[in-house]
Every structure is written in structure tokens, then in C-alpha cells.
């Protein structure tokens, strides 16, 4: 494995491809001896040293790599504001922006488009748009992600690209579980190299953070085993869906078996079917006149009540499968949250626990001004959110959001908020008893209304806008709140001691 990279953005040397450690030369773990039954299982991804020699797992800034092309995962307008895209466009220069706006004019989810690299070390940039993940549309997300990786590889092959820096197309910014996406991406690369291995010299799986690298260290050996022992080990650790011959996800419920030579049930096919005369009466096993209505083709009527019952059961099973997948995804992310270094996010103090309210419920505080969405690592922000919230949400709790002095740079994208909402377990929504927004603005009220109306309708009645801290004290004792000084100073400036005291007919919640 290559040595630890320099800090991202520190461009004082060029990283040559031939300097990177190939996958077949990386250190191997020790594997326990397998039973004869386990050894007898054939591997769908056998050990191939020729393919492993083309693979590199590397952590660092892809713009430092001297490769033929690197991958930019963006949005449909190709103007996504994430740290990697910003770095690519900044180093490439204005010419890249001009080509994207003039020639590409956007890119649909699952597609891939190519431009020149201009000021980058890479000759080309391949732009693609990964899917937004939603457990309700899991099949669509998996198919779209497969198409992203497949189209990137195909476009590279067509343009004679021999070395490719393959950055993660599936991102937590779009809600895609990193481990699930790693399986699809790695499997697609493996199948493509099996068919078109001569088209590439090097494919670099680029990791921009250590947590992603750890996941790929676990996933890569399953599809690119480095010796026979690892091949045997991988068989029992592969996921159920291994895709088709191209690595594309398979949907068992939609597979239709079509016979090459359909025949009547009682008629045995012969080599020269169309040259022989078929006795239809004999083929059906009886006289067609007497057997009308008994053959399956004639039974076209349906039981309406049975169909309704089947549809209800099918819908229930689909919903149960969605909930199970959501739970698995949450547990995987929670496991990462417990092992990942989140000290930088914690140091921002944008989210923390702060005592209990007057009903003994935990109080979670979020400081909007401390959350800089343009600079913060949103993947780690999500993990830190789970790390803080998971111990609390098993019981009733409240959230206090201080919107004080926030600007556009403090507001996360609506898509990111939707992804978090779709990710969290039901207990988050059930046990949330109040969401207080202190010092709201017109825009915060408007965006909150849209979000709770069209995305989070089940918490709409729990959102309370409070124009000052004193109104918060009617619910939470002051000694149970840890409030930053700038919030107190601002509150004194706009409210002072002249708080409006509501009458018995007024509700503070409606202020």
C-alpha cells in the first residue's frame, strides 16, 4: 500500500502512476484454514494476477495524479459544490467551466461525459452523475450507479484512456451508503476488465478520506482476490446479488425465463420443428373440441378478491423489505460513526447535548452559525450526527436550533436534509417532541414550511418558531441550556428587556 498522502490541496509534487503500489503487491491478511466444503465452492471472481496488477487503492488528492483521466462526480447541472469538484475546476481553470457550460450543458443521472483536463495533470475529465439514494427506489438507484461506472469505463475505452483515477461516484452527499456503492463499483470494474482488460494499464480507486479506504480494503479482496486463500475466503463473504455477466444488479422478481423453443406441454421438441407436421389434438393430449377451457391458455379469468389480497401482501412485503434495508444501512453508518475520527466536526460545536427540559427530556442543541456547509465534510457531518443522536433517540427528546446570524454559507442543501430524514430510524421521528427554532427569519420559516410540508409532514406540528430566548425558558430551565455568548448578545440587541408577554389567549408557539 502506498504511504500516507500529503494534506489535501498541498500540490508540491506530481504523483506518477508507476510509483503507486499495485493491488497484487499489497500486504495480505492471514486467513484461517477453510473446510473442504468451503474450498469446494467455486468462486465467481477467481484469482487473476493480470487484473490485480492493473488495480491501485490510493488515498489522496486525485488532481495530483499524472493520469490520462480522472472522474468528477457531480450533479445534473455539473456545478455541484463539493470539495473535490471545486478543486478540479479550480485547477483546470476557466476553460473547463466554459466547455462544460457550452458543450455538455448538463448530464443525466447514470450518464458520463468527457472534457479536456486543461490545467490539470490529467488530460481528460470524465463527468458523471451518481443517483440519490432512497430505500423506496433501491432498484433504480443501484441500476443508475452501475450505469455510472459502466459508462465511465466505456467512455475511457473509446477514448484510448490507459490510466484512470476513479473517484467515488456514490457519495453520502447524495445519501448513497458507501459500502453498498463500493460493491457495485468494484464489481463493475472487475467484469469490465475481464472483457476489456487490454484497454487499461491502471485503474486507481481514489479515496479522499481514511474511512472510505477502510471500506475498500474490505470490499476489493472479494472481487479481486490476491491469492487462492483469499479467493476461498471471499466466496462466503460476497453479497447475495453478484449481478449479471457485466456486473449489473439483477432483479429476481423481474426475471422472465423465455424458452428458446416453446412447445406444447405434451409435445416433445424435435431438431427440425418447422419441417414436421404437428398433430394439435395429439399435442394437447386429447381432442381440442372436448378440452376447450381446460388448458391453462384458456383460463384467462381472474379472481378479483384474490388479486386484491395478493396486491396488499405484495405491498406489505415490499414495505418490510424497505424498512429492513433502511435499518441495515443505518447500522452500517452507525458502525462507521463509532470508529471514524470525528474530532474536527466535534470541535466546531455545532451539535451537542445540553441538559433536559422541564419534562425531563434530553435537549439537543444545533448552532447554525457554526455549520459551514461549503467547507465542512458532509459525510463526516452525517456520521457525527448519528454519533450524537443515537444514544438519545430511544427516549423522548427535543431539538433547539439557533438560527442566529446564519447566512447562506451555513445552510446545507435541501437534498442533504432529505437524505438525512430518509436515513434515520422511525424512532427519531416518533420520539422527537419539539423542534424549536430560535431567532427565525423569513427564509428559515419559508424553507421549514416547504420541508415539513413536502418531505417531513409527520413532524410539521412539532416545529415551533421562537423570536427570543426568553420564550425558550418557558420550556427549558436556563441552567439546562448551554448557549454561545454571541447568541445571548444578539438576543439582547433585538429584544433587550422588552419582551412581548403573551396573553392567556395567545400561544408562544405561534409567534
Q: Which domains does the chain have, with CATH numbers?
A: 39-250 (3.40.220.10), 343-510 (3.40.525.10)
**DSSP notation for 98-132:** HHIIIII----TT-EEEEE-TTSSSSEEEEEEPPP
Q: Tell me the backbone φ, ψ of residue 442, rounded to 5 degrees.
A: -60, -45
CA distances from 175 to 283, 417, 423, 490 (A): 56, 10, 8, 35
- Cell numbers found for residue 280: 394439435
Q: Do 240 and 59 contact (CB within 8 A), yes or no?
A: no
Of residues 276 and 44, the one with the higher pLDDT is 44
Instruction: Give the Cβ contact number of residue 295 at 10 Å.
Output: 14
Checking if the pLDDT of 133 tops 60, the result is yes
Percent with pLDDT over 90 in the chain:
50
pTM tops 0.95: no
pLDDT value at residue 357: 93
- Average pLDDT of span 462-483: 92
- Listed ranges 96-100, 233-237, 335-339; the one with the highest mean pLDDT: 96-100
The torsion defined by the Cα of 91, 95, 96 and 102, in degrees rounded to 10, comes to: 160
Among 3-17, 133-147, 200-214, 215-229, top mean pLDDT goes to: 215-229
**At residue 286, does pLDDT exceed 70?**
no
What is the DSSP-derived secondary structure letter of residue 291? H
Alpha-carbon gap, residue 292 to 222, rounded angstroms: 55
For the cut 60, the answer to whether the pLDDT of residue 262 exceeds it is no
To 10 degrees, what angle do helices 304-339 and 414-423 make? 110
Give the pLDDT score at 271: 41
Q: Kindly give, in sequence order, each residue whose CB lies less than 8 Å from that of residue 109, ignoring residues fewer than 6 positions away.
A: 76, 129, 130, 131, 132, 144, 148
Amino acid at each position: 500500500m502506498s504511504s500516507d498522502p500529503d494534506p489535501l490541496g498541498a500540490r508540491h509534487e506530481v504523483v506518477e502512476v508507476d510509483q503507486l503500489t499495485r493491488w497484487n503487491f499489497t500486504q495480505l491478511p492471514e486467513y484461517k484454514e477453510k473446510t473442504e466444503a468451503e474450498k469446494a465452492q467455486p468462486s465467481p471472481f477467481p484469482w487473476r494476477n493480470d487484473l490485480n496488477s492493473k488495480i491501485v487503492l490510493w488515498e489522496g488528492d486525485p488532481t495530483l495524479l499524472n493520469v490520462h483521466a480522472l472522474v468528477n462526480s457531480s450533479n445534473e447541472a455539473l456545478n455541484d459544490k463539493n470539495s473535490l469538484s471545486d478543486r478540479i475546476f479550480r485547477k483546470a481553470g476557466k476553460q473547463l467551466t466554459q466547455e462544460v457550460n457550452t458543450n455538455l450543458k448538463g448530464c443525466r443521472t447514470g450518464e458520463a461525459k468527457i472534457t479536456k483536463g486543461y490545467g490539470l495533470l490529467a488530460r481528460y475529465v470524465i463527468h458523471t452523475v451518481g443517483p440519490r439514494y432512497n430505500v423506496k427506489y433501491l432498484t433504480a438507484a443501484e441500476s443508475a450507479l452501475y450505469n455510472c461506472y459502466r459508462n465511465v469505463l466505456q467512455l475511457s475505452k473509446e477514448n484510448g484512456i490507459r490510466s484512470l483515477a476513479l473517484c467515488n461516484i456514490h457519495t453520502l452527499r447524495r445519501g448513497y451508503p458507501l459500502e453498498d456503492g463500493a460493491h457495485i463499483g468494484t464489481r463493475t470494474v472487475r467484469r469490465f476488465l475481464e472483457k476489456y482488460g487490454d484497454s487499461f494499464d491502471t485503474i486507481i480507486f481514489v479515496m479522499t478520506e481514511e474511512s472510505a479506504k477502510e471500506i475498500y480494503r474490505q470490499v476489493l479482496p472479494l472481487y479481486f482476490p490476491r491469492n487462492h486463500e483469499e479467493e476461498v475466503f471471499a466466496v462466503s463473504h460476497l453479497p447475495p446479488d453478484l449481478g449479471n455477466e457485466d456486473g449489473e444488479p439483477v432483479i429476481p422478481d423481474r426475471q422472465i425465463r423465455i424458452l428458446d423453443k416453446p412447445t406444447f406441454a405434451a409435445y416433445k421438441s424435435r431438431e427440425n420443428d418447422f419441417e414436421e407436421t404437428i398433430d394439435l389434438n395429439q399435442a394437447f393430449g386429447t381432442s381440442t373440441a372436448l378440452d376447450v377451457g381446460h388448458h391453462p391458455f384458456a383460463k384467462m379469468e381472474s379472481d378479483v378478491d384474490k388479486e386484491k389480497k395478493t396486491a396488499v401482501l405484495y405491498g406489505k412485503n415490499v414495505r418490510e423489505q424497505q424498512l429492513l434495508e433502511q435499518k441495515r444501512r443505518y447500522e452500517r453508518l452507525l458502525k462507521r460513526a463509532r470508529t471514524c475520527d470525528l474530532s474536527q466536526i466535534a470541535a466546531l460545536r455545532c451539535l451537542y447535548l445540553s441538559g433536559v427540559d422541564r419534562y425531563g427530556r434530553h435537549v439537543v442543541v444545533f448552532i447554525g452559525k457554526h455549520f459551514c456547509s461549503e467547507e465542512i465534510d458532509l459525510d463526516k457531518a452525517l456520521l457525527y450526527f448519528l454519533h450524537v443522536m443515537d444514544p438519545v433517540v430511544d427516549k423522548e427528546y427535543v431539538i433547539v436550533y439557533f438560527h442566529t446570524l446564519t447566512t447562506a454559507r451555513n445552510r446545507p442543501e435541501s437534498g442533504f436534509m432529505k437524505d438525512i430524514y430518509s436515513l434515520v430510524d422511525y424512532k427519531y421521528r416518533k420520539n422527537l417532541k419539539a423542534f424549536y427554532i430560535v431567532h427565525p427569519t423569513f427564509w428559515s420559516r419559508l424553507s421549514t414550511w416547504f420541508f415539513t410540508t413536502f418531505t417531513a409532514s409527520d413532524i410539521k406540528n412539532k416545529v415551533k418558531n421562537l423570536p427570543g430566548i426568553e420564550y425558550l425558558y418557558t420550556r427549558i430551565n436556563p441552567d439546562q441550556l448551554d448557549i454561545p455568548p454571541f447568541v445571548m448578545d444578539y438576543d439582547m440587541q433585538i429584544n433587550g428587556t422588552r419582551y412581548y408577554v403573551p396573553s392567556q389567549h395567545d400561544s408562544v408557539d405561534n409567534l
